[in-house]
Structure 1
Amino acid sequence: MDIPVKGKPSKLFFIDMLTRDITVSDAIGDLVDNSVDAARAEIYRHDKPAYDLFALKYENTKIEINFNESEFSIKDNAGGIPLEIAKDYAFCFGRPEEYTDNNFGSIGQFGIGMKRSFFKIGKKITVESSTTNGYFKIEIDVEKWKVDDDWDFSITEKRDSYDLDIGYGTKITITNLTASSKALFSNPTYLNDLKKEIEIENWYNLSKGMSIEINKIPLIAKDLSIKEDSSIGLAIGRWQHFYKIEGVDVRILCGIGEKGKKEDGGWYIFCNDRLILAAEQTKITGWAGKGDKVKGGPEYHGQYELFRGFVFFEAPNPKDFPWNTAKTSLNPEHPLYMKVKSKMIDMMRDVVSFLNNLKSEKDGQRRGKNQPPSHTEIKLASAKSYKLNELAVKTIVETKFSAPETEKPIKPSKLSDSVIISYEVETERFQAVSAQLNVNDSKEVGLKTFNYYYSNEIIE
């Protein structure tokens, strides 16, 4: 006689494991991703077959996030959740095998993001969604739900007309906050921290017209751009390849960006417009250094601050992407990413070589930190910058990166019997002396001041 052995998971254990490795900000980011997915689905329903994932615009999409020490809410106008999807799929833990949402190019992959976010943020959840066909509400009390054998949720209100307060969209309200959520939402610095994180993750979406507000403060897209100017021989490295087996379209842009901070240089990697890695400067994207056994480029440092590399993974199904479940990094051993990374390294070598030559030009001209830019730097500064959304065209024509030739420093003839003098002075004092002497080069300033002293104090 067979004796049944219980194998049903504990809800408490399930909730703990589901939320252990994500932050509250990750949870909020997942809810934003759901709204973005809904917007994509709505656009796809209206624009198919003209729908183009790369050139997608979000001018009419708005997401509003509000929180305080007792409540969190997120609301969008992205068309709402169809009742059939809510009943059969949206609230399942894990995506059923038979589920196809026709949401071409979504971000959500595993069917756990929304529920995981609920449990991470609070213990009482209300989901209201309104479509052209009607309105429904689901209320979840996590404390009661977790002690019940039933894993399903119940629709507590339904009607066939849409809700004026919700509009055609979805609103999620969470109360009875978890200790971590309450502590963060009570912290006056958290608003700015969350704003920065959601801005970074949605840079591309924001630049393509999406509106996101947190506590009535609009998020602003950082200008992500890359330079190109045929008049000085500067061309962006472009490459596109469709990996048929994986069903993923990959585009790479590589070149020179605007002069800014050391922190801005590196690779930026997107999956269906969601930024996964920003200004990535480690061996994950090929900045391996000489000591690394994996074939790659140099270790990242200040001379590469102008480097800009953008990688776009686009696919109808996000399960094919080489990312982790929290969408915070890539799996460096994923077969698809290993193929793409090899091409990234090949493309970055030309840019790195140019930047090495640019450094040699500057060093050869004895141009210190506060000195005027070199000849090639002046050319680069005047070159036109193109924003990423301007480059979102249907097809990329492959081009190799090229840049103006740097000047080779002319080594001055050295006297047979001479010494080199080197010293450091405050910038303000240097600028005052150089202005008086009408020269900018530090070497010339040093030589003129030495000759002045020699002529007036040594030679009688």
Structure 2
Amino acid sequence: MKITDNTIDASPTKRIYWSIIADYSTNTAISELIDNALDIHTKVGGTQKVIINIDMDQEQQTITVTDNAGGVKRDDLSLLVSPGQSGNDSDEHTIGIFGVGTKRAVVALSMDIKIFSRYQNQSTYLIEIDDTWISDTSTWILQSYQVDAIPDSTTKIELNKLRFVITDESIDQLIYHLSCTYANFLAAKTIEINVNSIPIGPILYGNWAYPPEFGPREYKTLLQVDTGKTVELKITAGLVTSSNPTGEYGVYLYCNNRLIVKELKSFDVGYVAGLAGKPHPQISTARFMISITGEPKYMPWNSSKSDLNPKHRTFQAFQQWFTNIVTEFSSLSRRLSGDWDNNVFKYSSGTIKQVALQNTEVTSMRRSYLPPLPKQKKSYSDNIKQKNNAVINSKPWALGPCETSIAIEWVLKQKLDQKNRIAFILLDSTLEIAFKDYLVNDSGKQYSDTTIKTMFGNRTNVHNEVKTLVFQSNTILWQKVDYYYKLRCKLVHERVTAGISDTDISNFKAIVQLFLINLFGLDLTEN
């Protein structure tokens, strides 16, 4: 039973504008203005290149954004300022479904806003918005003005009293953001974006690697998202020719050619235990590009077009299959990580394999179309520990030299200017500790506390004592031990840093390993 009781006023209040301010960064707000220009260009059927000029005046702390996308008709001016209104048709492949692009962007950026627009060659109109109007809850009425003409098909937005400070850094960040976000448009030369009169170029992510049998795959299908409605889904997955553990790997989402989010490594896309695993340097060569084209309401972006909406039905339609793709290529990256240079990076050219899919394969199957993955090679650390497990169990003092040797190999693989210096000091320390542990625990001789204190107080005494027990007649070996000890002293105590060559490291490492196998039985060879 229903009985009419009362009416409720559901009209929005201007507080909606204040929530907008908190939700937007400078980069996402300016991107909204560019999105709006691209949508207008699509709506009016424009054929010329869209040119967008962004002038950021550090001295005056103002921003002016101008575009030639077509302009806004007089009767459509309300679309620029009224929350919830949109002029886009539902079947257009635009990027402004939410109908709040310009209005929320300008409010997020500025407290004093002037919007000029001229539709084709018609009259020019001006709308002004400031914080006084936003704070006035008694009215939603805004005055528009007919003003002096600006160029045909142009919209110009002047932003004064900014809510942030323009700096060199903020300009550089904006340029990088726009170069990534609109890379596909810039590369296709359908738009031109100038920041302070300087054209920006596209930043594309295409440095794929083509290791034999495991090159990148491009999966394509028409994905059904509603009754009689589909979107074009294209996913490119593979390894790349460089590893950047802190950044450029993971998932990249493009909707209607616009980058929404990059380097996404959340559990929603498979970065969780049991699938690809949590983000880790070993999987940092795996990259995944999702491209979806279709009606805006079927795009799985969030309201500010800055992240994936994992609850969106379009994403959920292919999520399970996609996380399997992420899992397999991440596993491939992990299994080849012992020698990326030879297994992955050197294969910098090839052809992306095309895989055409049926809708049912994406929504109900877990196939990746990769051949069986190569067996995972044990890391040097795990291999050395396993090979020497029995020795370490019987001689616990051998654990230190064993793990220090592992650390030395790790240091030598890093991109450090001083890695040879660090490795050399570790090698010398390993040898010194090994000699002392051998004399105390493994030599078969008994030393009084006084003898040990006196002997250990002078490194040469330690060398001489060990020499009476092992390699007594190998004069050349002990000459090399003394040479590298003196080089270590020079490295540590002299003001000028001694140079440590790769040859020094190779020779000294061989000497240390020779002693470790003879003193304790440790096998530190990689195979």
TM-score (norm 2): 0.64
Q: Which residue of 2 aligns with 1:221?
A: 202
The sequence identity of aligned pairs, in percent, is 18
Query: Which of 254, 259, 265 does residue 249 from structure 2 map onto?
Result: 265
Q: Which residue of 2 aligns with 1:400?
A: 369
Given that 2:56 and 2:64 are in contact with CA atoms closer than 8 Å, whether structure 1 keeps it comes out as yes
The alpha-carbon distance between structure 1 residues 198 and 402, as it changes in their structure 2 partners (threshold 3 A), is farther
Amino acid paired to 2:218: R
CA positional deviation for 1:331: 2.1
| Distance in 2 of aligned mates of 1:264 and 1:115 | 33
Q: Report whether the alignment pairs 1:137 with 2:138.
A: no
Range moving further from structure 2, 246-255 or 119-128: 119-128
Unaligned 5+ residue runs, structure 1?
47-58, 291-295, 363-372, 456-460
Query: Which of 192, 204, 212 does residue 211 from structure 1 map onto?
Result: 192
Q: Which residue of 2 aligns with 1:280?
A: 264
Amino acid paired to 2:154: G
Q: Which residue of 1 aligns with 2:462?
A: none
Q: Which residue of 1 aligns with 2:349?
A: 384
Amino acid paired to 1:277: V
Q: Which residue of 2 aligns with 1:303?
A: 282
| Distance in 1 of aligned mates of 2:335 and 2:158 | 56
Amino acid paired to 2:109: I
The alpha-carbon distance between structure 1 residues 143 and 303, as it changes in their structure 2 partners (threshold 3 A), is closer
Given that 1:238 and 1:251 are in contact with CA atoms closer than 8 Å, whether structure 2 keeps it comes out as yes
Q: Report whether the alignment pairs 1:172 with 2:166.
A: no
| Distance in 1 of aligned mates of 2:208 and 2:234 | 17
Amino acid paired to 2:270: G
Q: Report whether the alignment pairs 1:324 with 2:266.
A: no
Query: Which of 12, 16, 19 does residue 17 from structure 1 map onto?
Result: 19
Q: Which residue of 2 aligns with 1:242?
A: 222
**Deviation by residue 1:112-170 (Cα, 9 ceiling, x = unmatched):** 121112222224333223343424222214356443855344441179xxx5x534332
CA positional deviation for 1:345: 1.0
**Deviation by residue 1:254-299 (Cα, 9 ceiling, x = unmatched):** 1011204221110101111221111111213210124xxxxx4211
SS of residue in 2 equivalent to 1:20: helix
CA positional deviation for 1:251: 1.3
Q: Which residue of 2 aligns with 1:62?
A: 51
| Distance in 1 of aligned mates of 2:516 and 2:40 | 75
Given that 2:241 and 2:348 are in contact with CA atoms closer than 8 Å, whether structure 1 keeps it comes out as no
SS of residue in 2 equivalent to 1:114: helix
| Distance in 1 of aligned mates of 2:128 and 2:143 | 8
| Distance in 2 of aligned mates of 1:22 and 1:414 | 56
Q: Report whether the alignment pairs 1:113 with 2:101.
A: yes
Q: Which residue of 2 aligns with 1:436?
A: 503
| Distance in 2 of aligned mates of 1:86 and 1:349 | 49
**Deviation by residue 1:78-103 (Cα, 9 ceiling, x = unmatched):** 2323444436x44432136xx55488
Corresponding residue pairs, total: 398
**Deviation by residue 1:429-458 (Cα, 9 ceiling, x = unmatched):** 569877538xx9x6x863356549999xxx
| Distance in 2 of aligned mates of 1:81 and 1:5 | 34
**Deviation by residue 1:211-268 (Cα, 9 ceiling, x = unmatched):** 22222343332231152648x3343222223233443222111101120422111010
The alpha-carbon distance between structure 1 residues 15 and 450, as it changes in their structure 2 partners (threshold 3 A), is closer
CA positional deviation for 1:7: 6.1
| Distance in 2 of aligned mates of 1:31 and 1:382 | 41
Given that 1:75 and 1:172 are in contact with CA atoms closer than 8 Å, whether structure 2 keeps it comes out as yes
SS of residue in 1 equivalent to 2:146: strand
The alpha-carbon distance between structure 1 residues 401 and 129, as it changes in their structure 2 partners (threshold 3 A), is farther
Higher relative contact order at CA 8 Å, sep ≥6: structure 1 or structure 2? 1
Question: What is the CA RMSD across the aligned residues, in angstroms?
Answer: 4.0
| Distance in 2 of aligned mates of 1:454 and 1:352 | 37
| Distance in 1 of aligned mates of 2:371 and 2:140 | 59
| Distance in 2 of aligned mates of 1:454 and 1:250 | 58
Amino acid paired to 1:197: H
Q: Which residue of 1 aligns with 2:466?
A: none
| Distance in 1 of aligned mates of 2:72 and 2:112 | 20
Q: Report whether the alignment pairs 1:233 with 2:213.
A: yes
SS of residue in 1 equivalent to 2:328: helix
